[in-house]
Amino acid sequence: MLADQHLVDAQQFGKSLIGLSKVANSVSHEFFFETITHDPRSYQIRFCVGPSRENGLVQELFAVLVSAQFPAFPPVLLQLAKPFIVSTFEGIIKTVLNRKSEASLAIDKIHDLAVRHSEFASQVHKGHMRDKAWLKRMVENLAKENRASLREVPDPIGRTVRIMEFGGDGKNPVLIDEPAAEVLRAHEPMQLGDPVEYDVKIEGVFKTNGACRIRLLSDDRIVSGKITDPALDQPHNIYCVY
């Protein structure tokens, strides 16, 4: 992968940033103005890209208020905006991947913010933040509203990079790997399954990107796959689409 040399395809990276900023705009608009939309004409907050950090593949996004009049936000809203956006983004990703238990854990993080901060719970969204069922519907609606943008987010993954991390400041970030990227990019409903061990025979491999055709020996079926860790001294990790 080009990322091994600290490089990433410029067009793929640009498309990913566009998709990510659209989702971030939608989530932050819901957080501050309590309305779910993906219409950029409604946004009063714009996300800007800051200077690249060392190695050139870490980008910081900054939220900038662009409305003519400065609205009076409660201080706690500004304090909790980042953890809310990161946890909500995680919940959206896990919802699209149909990882229900992991989506529930992300929703728990949002709920915990409300429980720990009574001012946040009482002033924001009419107190609904303490209702997990309401939070679940909010995340599901955001996922549905931003489905097209979410297809753009993982554009470099599996092509010039292997994995993407979002938020967390290096601690417990939201991870998107190659199997997750395939599900996010799909136009038809897909589901990210749990890891399963198979005995397989590799029928052919594209040396440029590790894509392959493999035969599942258990039921003599050929499926598409991708070798994700081509180590020579241990069994390969391969993700399959079938």
Higher pLDDT, 95 or 223: 95
Q: What's the pLDDT score for residue 242?
A: 54
Q: Which residue has the tokens 């009076």?
A: 72
pTM to 2 decimals?
0.82
Q: What's the pLDDT score for residue 66?
A: 76
Closest among 238, 167, 164, 172 to 203, alpha carbons compared: 238
**Residues 211, 238: Cα–Cα separation, whole Å:** 9
pLDDT(170) > 70 = no
Q: β-strands 61-65, 174-177: how paired?
A: unpaired
**Residues 17, 23: Cα–Cα separation, whole Å:** 10
Percent of the chain with pLDDT over 90: 32
Q: What's the pLDDT score for residue 199?
A: 87
